Amino acid sequence: MSRILVLYASTHGHVAKIADRLAGSMRSAGAEPDLIRAGAEDPDPASYDAVVVAASLHKAKHQDEVVEWASAHSEALDSMPTAFISVSLTAAEDSDESRKRTQACVDDFVGETGWTPGRVERLAGALQYREYDPFTRALVRLLMKRGGHPTDTSRDHDFTDWDEVGRLGAELAALPAEAR
């Protein structure tokens, strides 16, 4: 059975849910995922057949703990099957401009870490107004208002296509085999 490291960072919990769903569908597809939160441990990529890293964008940057881990292990990561999943709100928008903005942040991540993921996926995240502290809630609401996005802070707004996440998990379960 292929062992796959699923390392993730999540500021308000949404990527944690995505990583959990990915791991679930990898398991159903016959792989053995190891779900680890970045910063909690320092897993060695060499102990796995493939590595999937998931993080979200906050102020145009992916979480520091993922950048630090990927930088420290970039050489090992470049020599094995890998995927990077970038979760953001720009990925929820269907325009060339938003695709360019998301791609620029992924390019920054690659430049900063020195790791070139074998596969990159951009997934739409969520607006989790109920998880934010009052300052963040007001700030995000203002930004969303300017962009014509949801401003109802009494509930969360989930833009993730969960069927897509399930399909992606099944595909990523085959990452080690693709490399053979």
What residues make contact with ligand FMN under the rule CB under 6 A?
10-15, 56-60, 87-90, 125-128, 136, 140
CB of 127 to ligand FMN, least distance (A): 6
CB of 87 to ligand FMN, least distance (A): 5
The nearer residue to ligand FMN, 45 or 125, going by C-beta atoms, is 125
The nearer residue to ligand FMN, 81 or 125, going by C-beta atoms, is 125
Backbone angles phi, psi at 118, to 5 degrees: -65, -30
Say which DSSP state 123 is in.
Answer: E
3-state DSSP assignment of residue 118 = coil
The sign of the torsion formed by the CA atoms of 106, 108, 111, 114 equals negative
The CA distance from 71 to 155, in Å, is: 36
Question: Using CB atoms within 10 A of its CB, is residue 88 exposed (0-12), middle (13-18) or buried (19+)?
Answer: buried
The CA distance from 40 to 178, in Å, is: 29
**Angle at 32 (CA atoms; ends 31, 33), nearest 5 degrees:** 110
What is the token pair recorded at 105?
A: 């942040």
The CA distance from 124 to 138, in Å, is: 21
Q: Which residue is nearest to ligand FMN (CB)?
A: 125
The nearer residue to ligand FMN, 3 or 99, going by C-beta atoms, is 99
Q: Which strand (E) or helix (H) includes residue 34? A: strand 32-37
CB of 175 to ligand FMN, least distance (A): 22
The nearer residue to ligand FMN, 136 or 151, going by C-beta atoms, is 136
CB of 123 to ligand FMN, least distance (A): 9
The nearer residue to ligand FMN, 15 or 80, going by C-beta atoms, is 15
CB of 78 to ligand FMN, least distance (A): 26
